[in-house]
Amino acid sequence: RRCLLRLLFRMQRAKPARPSRKGTKYKKRTVYDYSQSAWALFLRREGVDDPTHKNGKLFRRRFRVPYPLYLELVHRLSEEDDFEDKADATGKPSAPLHLKILASLRVLGRGECFDTCYELSNIHAETLRTFFLKFIRYISGLYGEYIKSPCTPTEINYVQRQYELLGFPGCIGSIDCVHVHWERCPAMDASIHVGKEGYPTRVFEVVCDHAGRILCATPGFPGTWNDKTIVKYDYFVTKLRTDKKYTEAMFSLYDPDGNVMHVHGLYLIADGGYHKWAELQCPWKECSLPSA
């Protein structure tokens, strides 16, 4: 009797056997048609490839680059082995490269989340996330090709002429620092990255001309560093102060009597947070002329 009770007790505690999966029909994963996504339909609109057309301007506003530059990115990445469109083990082709590039541009331009890009491109969010990391590594390698400071007399005169027409002869660009929020900053690094913004940031100093073309950009610095400290590490400002093609460049100004005087040395427009260097001109509240 005791053995029988013990057997019944064990049978009650035993886990139920798993049902056999033989012959079970699994649900097929839903595969969306990339060619019918919102972005694919937008690319087929009339005039998207024309930067002067209404849809061409809409493309630039949504993805922050003109359509010809977008086509150049697609062409360059399609020639790279890391970005080649391949099929998986079942023969299913990968997501189109041109739509993944659009998603990366949207994330960079608007800080969009990958799930929203999934909704607009029909490409899974995790696929877009992994592609975005490779895209950033590739684009950062093109820094020296697209980010160039004016070096030849022709380039210097071209940039200087833009400011001269606006009443700033001798100016070769505008400079400032930008703070980028560093999410998930390690706790051990928070003390040197939490500055005036009140949250962890990385600081980048950028020099651009009046057309908005970037002439120089520094690496990232901790958010507690100010403009006066970072500018000492800017190689373009250093060249502006030491290189003869900038220090000996001449431009004309008017003195208080209306006479023309010639001044040597180009400069950048800055705010009041920089050093009082001749190469960094900031606005002044008071006029330098004597009061009447």
CA distance 104 to 124: 13
Query: For 40-90, how does the pLDDT look when each residue is reduced to its tens digit (9 = 90+)?
Result: 999 999 999 999 999 999 999 999 999 999 999 999 999 888 887 776 666
Residue 292 has pLDDT above 50, yes or no: no
Res. 144 pLDDT band, cuts 50 70 90: confident
Which residues are CB-neighbours of 252 under 8 A, at least 6 positions away?
Answer: 169, 260, 261, 262, 263
Mean pLDDT of the chain: 87
Q: Is the pTM of this model over 0.75?
A: no
Query: For 224-251, how does the pLDDT look when each residue is reduced to its tens digit (9 = 90+)?
Result: 999 999 999 999 999 999 999 999 988 9
pLDDT at position 129: 94
Query: What tokens does 65 get?
Result: 């680059």
